Chain A
Amino acid sequence: MSGSQATFVKDAQDWLADAVPDRWRKERGALSEEETVEIRMEWDRQLHRGGFAGLSIPSDFGGRGLGLREEVIFHELAAQAHAPEGLGRIGKILTVPTLIAHGSEEQRARFIPAIMEGSQIWCQGFSEPGAGSDLASVSTFARKVDGGYLVKGQKIWTSFAQYADRSILVAKTSMTEPRYKNLSYFLLDMKQPGITFRTIKQLAGSSHFAEVFLDDAFVADEDRVDVEGAGWKVAMTTLTAERGGIEAITRYVEIRGDVDILTGCCIKGSGREADAAELDTRIELVRWQVMKALDFEDNPEELFKRTCMLKVMWSDLWQDVTSLALTHTCAAHEAHWRNQYLETRAATIYSGSNEIQRNIIGDRVLRLPR
Chain B
Amino acid sequence: MTVLVELERVLYIEDEPDIRLVAEIALRQVGRLDVVTCASGEEGLSLLNDFMPQLIILDVMMPGMDGPQILGKLRQLSAFKDTPVVFITAKVQPDEVEQFKKLGAADVISKPFNPMTLADDVRAIWARCYG
Indicate, yes or no, whether A interacts with B: no
